[in-house]
Structure 1
Amino acid sequence: MNKTKRDTQTMDYITKQGRWGRKMLLLYWVIIAVHFIVQLGSYLFLDYPATPYEFYVGTLIVPTLIMCGSNLLAELAHHKCNRFSFVIQFVASTVICWMIIRLNYDIRIITALCLLPIFSSVLFFNRRLIWLSFILQIVVFFLLLAIDGSFRAYLSPFDIVATPTFLMMSTFLALIIQDSGRDLLVDLYKTQHAQQELMISNAIISKMSMTDGLTKLYNHLSFQTFYEKALEYAKQGAIIHLAVVDIDNFKKINDTYGHQFGDKILEGISQIITEQITANDIPARYGGEEFAILMFEHTFEEAYQIVECIRREVEKMTFGEKMQSVSVTVSIGLKSYSEEMNKDTFFQGADDYLYQAKRTGKNKIVAELNHIA
């Protein structure tokens, strides 16, 4: 895998992690908002054992401000300090979760909320984040035991032993889940990579089967497929022209200078054809030194101008080195499709024009209406 591809994949991975981090921060905002609404509803509609001051200041406003401040700090770190953003985010999640646990420890199941940071860290496929989350939960748990008498008094000796044990077991479970997920991702990546390589191989094979290896134009077989499809469009009213191009005196050139020299000529002329035609046109090496070009949606004058440009560019081009430079010309037959034609008469018409150009001096175009350039 080259460096550019690795860098791209790394950036994609970082971007995806950033999106998951942003979703977790949004989840914490939702938790804060839901806790605020539930606490306020409990006080207003249920028998809540607290004075208005104790509730609004000690239970509602101050804890909410602390949780919002923690999450806001995580938001700033997410946008400004990517290096420590995940650490600060999990510190903030720990503050939020334990603040809610501290306010509602009479609900015994609420302690399970401390698992949220641990299992959230699984999403980022980083073992250190899982251990960080575990350590944060343990530290805050024993800190509350040490400084908060009411919290300590509410817990039984079993709770004091069971909670850290439960956190440890959950941490090991999170690590197992993360390793399993990592293995699954690796397998998916390998499968995807294999599929991509297969698609690329199939595309290369498909292209090789359709194109001529020397000129990179379509080969005879693929031209026939395009030709039959083009005639279907022509019968529906599409405008189609066919040009048949043949290199003048090519056998003599091959016999004199060798086939390698002839191959260079074929490559050079195919490049000229590719440069002069439009994106909608289909060029092919029809066979030997002969090329065929299907041209779509051009007027006759435009098609003629295209093949004339090809003829002139070939005429101007010299092949070989200075001491052995050779000028080459082409003869061209150009035919436009009309309703009374079939696939044989259409091609035969262009081919007849080509041989007329050959017989009448070469290096010229013979086209419709006996138009000889």
Structure 2
Amino acid sequence: MIKRKFMYAFILLSLSIVLVVNYYSSLESLWMLILIPAVTTVILCPTWKAAITVGFSSFILMVITEFVFHRVQPSFRDAVHLMITGAVEWIIFMTASFFQIRTAKMIAELGNLALTDPLTKIYNRRYLDWNLEKSSLFPNKEQSMTLILFDIDYFKAINDTFGHNAGDMVLKKVCRVVKEIIRESDIFVRTGGEEFLIFLQDCSLEQGIKLAERIRKTVEETDFVYKDKRIYVTISVGVSKYSKEKDLKEFTEKADQALYQAKETGRNKVVVI
């Protein structure tokens, strides 16, 4: 946040200096200095919408300053020089913007890859550990929060009987089923091989239990077919409610105990602790 505030201040200061210098100077090439605040803006907001807006705004600002507010009206020759300077500035700016936007996109994609499970395309354990360590998983801990922890019953038997490709199909389809049920604000994480976790922010325990039961029932009723062979898939679910007196690690351990009970007492059920 401090870094962004500094960059905003730098943009305003450098833009002010560029306007003052070019208002009192008759040297058109000094308008190249406007690249400093323009490129800094794109670094701060690396999108093509921002780049095009800043590029056109810089050109219009240059024209207005020279032809409307300048103390000495430029000659035709000066106007030509100004247009050439503007064109060169535009080319340099758009080139710099292209590389900055592409770099920012690549960094974002690498970040997503590091925090996303490549098979199911949901968050992975690294994402969970990173946020638990920072205690930033939920910015508002005053809200009610519920945790659902579930795993696929007898998943090893599915792999052994139908093969690992069938297992991968089951994992991906279970995730699609769950994603269609939960809200966009809910955080869905693959924590292990066949184990998954869902953080429900602003969700009471009663609502969480209903959602967990809906997920369990939907998975049980979903057709899982691999090479014309139907695979019967169920899940065991543990549910716990977050308490302000406990940290998020205790929160997850409580749900893990509930999941263990669900598996030990028959599987394909929801247990609440």
Give percent identity, aligned residues only.
Answer: 31
- CA separation in 2, counterparts of 1:321 and 1:204? 32
Shift of 1:320: 2.2
Rounded Cα–Cα distance in structure 1 between residues aligned with 2:248 and 2:89: 55
Whether 1:241 aligns to 2:167 is no
Whether 1:359 aligns to 2:264 is yes
Letter in 2 for 1:326: I
After TM superposition, the structure 1 = structure 2 runs for residues 1-373 of structure 1, keeping only pairs within 5 Å, are 118=76, 170=77, 174-227=79-132, 228-230=135-137, 233-234=140-141, 237-321=142-226, 323-368=228-273
Residue 136 of structure 2 aligns to a residue whose secondary structure is helix
The structure richer in helix per residue is 1
SS at 1:320 equivalent: strand
State the secondary structure of the residue aligned to 2:191: strand
The answer for unaligned runs of 5 or more in structure 1 is: 1-7, 29-111, 119-169, 369-373
Larger Rg: 1
The Cα offsets for residues 234-253 of structure 1, whole Å up to 9 and x where unpaired, read as 3xx33111111100010010
Report the RMSD for the aligned CA atoms in angstroms. 3.0
TM-score with structure 1 setting the length: 0.51
Contact kept in structure 2, 1:231 and 1:343, CA below 8 Å: no
Deviation at 1:327, TM superposition (A): 2.0
Q: Any idea what SS the aligned residue of 1:325 has? A: strand
Read off the aligned partner of 1:229 and give its amino acid letter: S
Higher relative contact order (CA 8 A, sep 6+): 2
Q: Give TM-score scaled by structure 2 length.
A: 0.68
Asked if the contact 1:283–1:293 (Cα under 8 Å) also holds between the matched residues in 2, the reply is yes
Contact 1:210 1:222 in 2 (8 A): yes
Indicate if the aligned counterparts of 2:166 and 2:226 stay in contact, CA closer than 8 A. Answer: no
Query: Secondary structure of the residue that 2:196 maps to in structure 1?
Result: strand
Identify the residue that residue 12 of structure 2 maps to in structure 1.
none
- The residue type equivalent to 2:155 in the other structure is F
User: How far apart, CA to CA, are the structure 2 residues paired with 1:198 and 1:254?
Assistant: 40
The CA distance in 1 between the partners of 2:79 and 2:245, in whole Å, is 76
- How far does residue 176 in structure 1 lie from its aligned partner after superposition? 4.2
2:44 — aligned with what?
Answer: none
Any idea what the Cα deviations from partners look like across 1:170-189, whole Å, max 9, x if unmatched?
A: 3xx54444333312211110
Query: How many equivalent pairs are there?
Result: 213
Report the CA distance shift for 1:184/1:224 in structure 2 as closer, same or farther (over 3 A). Answer: same
In structure 2, the residue matched to 1:109 is none
Mapped to 1, the partners of 2:155 and 2:267 lie a distance apart of 12
Alpha-carbon offset, residue 322 of structure 1: 6.8
Cα distance 1:340–1:253, how it changes in 2: closer, same or farther (>3 A)?
same
Deviation at 1:201, TM superposition (A): 0.9
For the 8 Å contact 1:211–1:222, the answer to whether it is kept is: yes
Per-residue deviation, 1:366? 0.4
Listed as ranges, the gaps of 5+ residues in structure 2 are 1-47
Q: Letter of the aligned partner of 1:273 in structure 2? A: V
